[in-house]
């Protein structure tokens, strides 16, 4: 029944999806945290930059960003991402776009977490003489992170689904393989079911595990 | 100062802030200058490349028809998905376990799957099993994909909207002798819809953004796809991307602003007894996690 799978590297395609998700998630987390720090900083210019970045990036379709990285950055500006291999370049461009896009959502999640930290915490930190960056990194952010594991899990799940957009620039991940397979094989329904199942397997445990972790680690107040 | 993280700046902090501002400005300007130089190097600043956008031809032949298709697909998807979502949302709250179970499974399933897979599948399905003409097929496939996904998300919105109403509403309806169906259709749903409006409007942003997938993967002639045709004609890849991005940003910014205005308006006017479902709910709902959303959500837009 499943012999149509022969000759296709389904697991390899899903492994690519996982790799895209993991690497972009790290990038998005770092850049998103920096953006969140900018958005709450005392320097108006940084706040402005953060706000503009988040609002602009959030309103552009991810497809536009991914396609621009390939047709604009790579083809026109000759951005090779440090490699001559076309496949690796596609992967790195996809990661760059996914991280830049997802960072806007990470930033918003972390900012909402910062808002859940009670006023007294920051006031106490300032009272013992901590500077803004100390208050943020030693007192506020550690508490904020623990309260936003749930929302961050949601961002991660959305990112997993968004990696399919990388198919638009030819990264050999799950969506691209599914496109090839349903065009060449007769079992449209079964192939659809296999790939749907793959994504359910990827997203379901993420939601369950991180949801449980979020409840456990949340600072009880 | 509004933030809790820092005091109202004194003389030293003021000086430091100015210093940071200057450093940040310099860095930002350096970055902009570098981008400008790069653009100049590659001859991307030639006015000839920007010129097409000042003529009406580029707009009437490429961009506006593309935008019209984007809006058409988004509107169709919304109009079909909303009633479907309402049905599934209500079914999830059914008294019968098997109705609840089936609706819940369907909703969680379609939320867990990327829209692109749904679109690709629908496209192939239509080409094999139906006689939809190959011209119409991309539109059908895009709308089908969007409907399946967004009906599932909207079902969650409807469910949350109905659950946000106080229990007394149902009890009062039963007390005056209404049946279950009547209670839902004349008491709960109208109030829930009001509470849900901001979340529904901001879900539109997600739909508009997702139409772009159909342009690249299914050759549906929407805005992003018309950009390709335009760039092939005028050889202005970068410029066309910038213009198209600005159109998307403007369109979605209007939708986001309208949603948050609506949220504030509904909060003030107290039209409904339920809590108004905020725009920020949408991010959580667009992630498929069992058990729905957790606590605080990220700010509007949707992913």
Q: What is the mean pLDDT of residues B182-203?
A: 90
**Is residue A200 within 8 Å of A16, Cβ to Cβ?**
no
Alpha-carbon distance values, B163 to B160, B167, B170 (Å): 5, 9, 11
Residues in chain A with CB shorter than 8 Å from the CB of B244 are 64
Task: Answer whether residue B81 shows pLDDT above 90.
Answer: yes
Tell me how far CA of residue B87 lies from CA of B53, B80, B175, in angstroms: 45, 11, 25
What local confidence, expressed as pLDDT, does residue B291 receive? 44
pLDDT of residue A84: 80
> What Å distances lie between residue B10 and A75, A128, B16, CA to CA?
50, 17, 10
- What is the distance in angstroms between the Cα of B140 and the nearest Cα belonging to chain A? 17
Q: Do B117 and A55 touch (CB under 8 A)?
A: no
For residue B105, pLDDT beyond 90: yes
Give me the pLDDT at residue B283, please: 67
Q: Do B237 and A192 touch (CB under 8 A)?
A: no
Do residue A183 and residue B124 have CB atoms under 8 angstroms apart? Answer: yes
| B contact test, residue of A58, A73, A152 with most B CBs within 10 A | A58
Residue B249 touches partner A, C-beta closer than 8 Å: yes
The minimal CB distance from A63 to the residues B17, B213, B290 is found for: B213
- What pLDDT was estimated at residue B272? 57
ipTM of model: 0.90
d(Cα A221, Cα A213) in Å, to the nearest integer? 17
Does residue B30 have a pLDDT over 60?
yes
Q: Which residue has the tokens 């968004």?
A: A162
Region B94-102: what's the mean pLDDT? 93
- The reply to whether B297 touches chain A by the CB within 8 Å rule is yes
Q: Is the torsion defined by CA of B181, B183, B188, B191 positive or negative?
A: positive
Please give the average per-residue pLDDT across B151-162, as a whole number: 92
Tens of pLDDT, residue by residue, chain A (221 residues) = 677 777 889 999 999 999 999 999 999 999 999 999 999 888 889 999 999 999 999 999 999 999 999 998 888 888 887 888 888 999 999 999 999 999 999 999 999 888 888 888 888 888 888 888 888 899 989 998 888 998 899 999 999 999 999 999 999 999 999 999 998 888 888 999 999 999 999 988 888 888 888 888 887 77
Which two three-digit tokens encode residue A44? Answer: 């108006």
Task: Output the pLDDT for position B89.
Answer: 93
In this prediction, residues B108-115 reach a mean pLDDT of 92
Any B CB within 8 A of A132 CB:
yes
What is the SS3 assignment for A100-125? HHHHHHHHHHHHHHHHHCCHHHHHHH
* pLDDT reported for residue B293: 41
The alpha-carbon gap from A181 to the nearest alpha carbon of chain B, in Å, equals 10
At residue B113 the predicted structure's pLDDT band, cuts being 50, 70 and 90, is very high
Higher pLDDT, B33 or B44: B33
d(CA B67, CA B81): 21
**Is it the case that residue B170 has pLDDT exceeding 80?**
yes
In A, which residues are within 8 Å of B208 by CB distance?
61
Supply the pLDDT for residue B61: 87
Does B211 or A132 have the greater pLDDT score? B211
Q: Residues with Cβ < 8 Å from A32, sequence gap 6 or more? A: A102, A103, A104, A105, A106, A107, A109, A110
> Tokens at residue B41, please?
């190097």
Residue of B nearest to A183 (CA): B124
pLDDT of residue A55: 92
Closest residue, chain A, to B110 (C-alpha): A196
Q: What local confidence, expressed as pLDDT, does residue A131 receive? A: 82
Q: Does B258 touch chain A (CB under 8 A)?
A: no
φ/ψ of residue B208, rounded to 5: -60, -45
pLDDT tens column, B276-290: 777 766 766 776 554
Q: Is the pLDDT of residue B199 over 50?
A: yes
| pLDDT band at residue B299 using 50, 70 and 90 as cut-offs | very low
* pLDDT for B290: 46
């Amino acid at each position: 029944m499943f012999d149509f799978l022969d000759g296709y590297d389904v697991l390899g395609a899903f492994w690519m999806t996982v790799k895209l998700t993991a690497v972009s998630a790290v990038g998005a987390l770092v850049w998103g945290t920096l953006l969140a720090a900018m958005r709450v900083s005392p320097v108006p210019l940084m706040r402005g930059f953060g706000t503009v970045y988040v609002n602009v990036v959030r309103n552009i379709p991810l497809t536009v960003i991914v396609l621009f990285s390939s047709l604009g950055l790579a083809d026109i500006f000759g951005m090779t991402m440090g490699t001559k291999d076309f496949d690796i370049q596609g992967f790195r461009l996809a990661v760059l776009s996914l991280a830049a896009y997802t960072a806007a959502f990470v930033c918003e999640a972390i900012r909402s977490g910062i808002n859940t930290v009670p006023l007294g915490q920051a006031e106490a930190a300032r009272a013992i003489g901590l500077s803004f960056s100390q208050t943020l990194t030693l007192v506020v952010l550690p508490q904020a992170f623990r309260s936003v594991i749930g929302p961050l899990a949601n961002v991660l799940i959305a990112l997993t689904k968004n990696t399919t957009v990388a198919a638009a620039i030819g990264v050999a991940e799950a969506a691209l393989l599914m496109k090839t397979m349903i065009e060449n094989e007769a079992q449209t329904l079964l192939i659809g079911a296999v790939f749907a199942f793959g994504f359910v397997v990827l997203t379901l445990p993420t939601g369950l595990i991180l949801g449980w972790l979020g409840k456990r680690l949340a600072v009880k107040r | 100062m509004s933030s809790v993280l820092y005091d109202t700046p004194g003389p030293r902090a003021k000086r430091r802030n100015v210093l940071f501002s200057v450093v940040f400005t310099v860095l930002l300007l350096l970055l902009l200058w570098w981008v400008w130089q790069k653009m100049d190097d590659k001859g991307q600043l030639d006015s000839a490349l920007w010129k097409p956008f000042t003529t009406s031809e580029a707009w009437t032949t490429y961009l506006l028809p593309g935008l019209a298709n984007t809006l058409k697909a988004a509107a169709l998807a919304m109009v079909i998905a909303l009633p479907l979502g309402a049905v599934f949302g209500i079914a999830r709250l059914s008294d019968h376990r098997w109705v609840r179970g089936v609706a819940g499974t369907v909703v969680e399933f379609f939320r867990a799957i990327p829209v692109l897979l749904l679109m690709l599948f629908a496209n192939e399905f239509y080409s094999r099993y139906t006689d939809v003409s190959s011209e119409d097929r991309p539109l059908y496939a895009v709308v089908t994909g969007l409907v399946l996904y967004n009906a599932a998300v909207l079902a969650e919105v409807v469910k949350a909207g109905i659950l946000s109403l106080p229990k007394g509403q149902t009890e009062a309806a039963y007390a005056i002798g209404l049946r279950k169906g009547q209670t839902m259709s004349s008491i709960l749903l109208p109030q829930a819809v009001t509470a849900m409006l901001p979340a529904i409007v901001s879900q539109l942003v997600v739909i508009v953004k997702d139409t772009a997938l159909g342009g690249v993967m299914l050759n549906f002639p929407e805005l992003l796809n018309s950009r390709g045709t335009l760039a092939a004609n005028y050889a202005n890849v970068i410029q066309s991307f910038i213009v198209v991005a600005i159109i998307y940003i403007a369109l979605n910014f209007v939708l986001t602003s309208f949603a948050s205005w609506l949220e504030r308006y509904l909060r003030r006017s107290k039209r409904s007894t339920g809590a108004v479902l905020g725009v920020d709910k949408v991010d959580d709902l667009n992630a498929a996690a069992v058990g729905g959303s957790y606590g605080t959500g990220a700010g509007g837009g949707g992913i």
